[in-house]
A = this chain, B = another copy of it.
Amino acid sequence: MANIRDIARESGLSIGTISRYINSTGYVSEESAKKIQMVINEMNYTPNQHARALFNSKSKIIGLVFPSLINPYFSELATIFEHLLQEKGYVIILCNTEDSREKELQALELLKGFRVEGIILGRSQCKNELNKINIPMISYESTVENNNIITVSADNYKGGAQAFEHLYKKGCRKLLHIKGPTSFEATQLRYEGFIDSANKKGIKPEIINFDTDFDLQNKNYIDGVLDNYDMKKYDGIFVFNDIVAAQMLRYLNEKQIKVPKDIKLLGFDNSYICDLLSPRLSTIEQPIISIAERCIELLFEIIDGKEVYEKEHLITTRIIQRETT
């Protein structure tokens, strides 16, 4: 592939002149500019971003560290991030961690090597290790105490409370909660908000603990767990996210338990899957566009050297009633 030396040789101009023209860093005569552009077109030359990154420390890369793209909420969020960053002239390097702390640390080290200008970290399993990274960073869904990393998150605690209030208003009193892994801060808070609100009304929901998020290798995990419970005991179920709620709905349909007549069912996320199910899934919305925009806005404030005083940014959730409640 042609490089800057080839352009200099072909145009008979100096590397310095070519560099000034390409990077708009100084004066180039109109005649030289014309000649350089002609040679660039002829040689099908694209400026080398690595040279730019070395020269002005602007790699134009943002690292996106996510558990995986299998959960539809994460794939939607990644797609929005890509879109917003594309508009700003940035690309994404994507690293999946499968919720492994080791893989996350490896990914961060890798992104450091690429001198990414910023990192968006989704559902981090790291804590104090993040202090060492020294790259502008937004943590989505995981707070890091005693340090400067900005967190953006839905208000999961209030979202859990909204879930209870909605089911309560619909007349549900015999509640079940499918709880996400304890290591996921967001689903832990949804659980706490749900339980605290229920307790205030004198209701003690039963809990089923899930060790994992939805997992391709283990698509029927839910069936094995649920078969130990009698679903007829409950009149309302709140599930920690939409994709597991979709599995729950499929399970209830298979057991001929009618939703919403026999049991009301509520998810969390408002991912696109809600509208693909029948009945369509009621859920607590994490406003995905606001969340994505806030992450990008704050990340670029840090990149631009501004001080961000508020460390924890909570985005308000709301109930989206469809047909399962």
Instruction: List chain B residues, Cβ under 8 A from A53.
Output: 50
Q: Which of B47, B69, B93 contacts A79 (CB 8 A)?
A: B69
Point out which of A54, A68, A69, A219 has the most chain B C-beta atoms below 10 A from its C-beta: A69
Chain B nearest CB from A209 CB (Å) reads: 21
Closest B residue to A63 by beta carbon equals B91
A315 within 8 A of B: no
Nearest 6 A-B pairs (CB), nearest first?
A253-B278, A75-B75, A50-B50, A50-B53, A69-B75, A46-B112
User: Chain B: which residue is nearest A78 at the CB level?
Assistant: B69
Q: Mark A residues whose CB is within 8 Å of B.
A: 1, 44, 46-51, 53-54, 59, 61, 64, 68-70, 72, 75-76, 78-79, 82-83, 86, 91-96, 109-110, 112-115, 132, 134, 214, 216, 219-220, 243, 246-247, 249-250, 253-254, 272-273, 275-278, 280
B109 pairs with A46, CB closer than 8 A: yes
Copies of this chain assembled into the complex: 2
Q: Please give, as numbers and ranges, the residues of chain B lying within 8 Å of A76 by CB-CB distance.
A: 69-70, 216
In the bound assembly, the distance between CA atoms of A130 and B28 in angstroms comes to 33
Chain B residues with Cβ below 8 Å from A273 are 273, 276
| Closest residue on chain B to residue A111 by CB atoms | B91
State whether A48 touches B44 (Cβ < 8 A).
no
> Could you jot down 12 A-B contacts, CB within 8 Å?
A48-B115, A50-B50, A51-B54, A61-B93, A69-B69, A70-B79, A76-B216, A94-B94, A243-B276, A246-B276, A250-B276, A277-B277
User: Considering only CB atoms, which chain B residue lies closest to A72 in the complex?
Assistant: B72
Contact between A94 and B92, CB atoms less than 8 A apart: yes
**Is there contact, CB below 8 Å, between A1 and B276?**
no
Nearest CB in chain B: distance from A237 CB, A = 16
- Residues on the B chain within 8 Å of A113, using CB: 46-49
A132 CA to B2 CA, complexed, in Å:
13
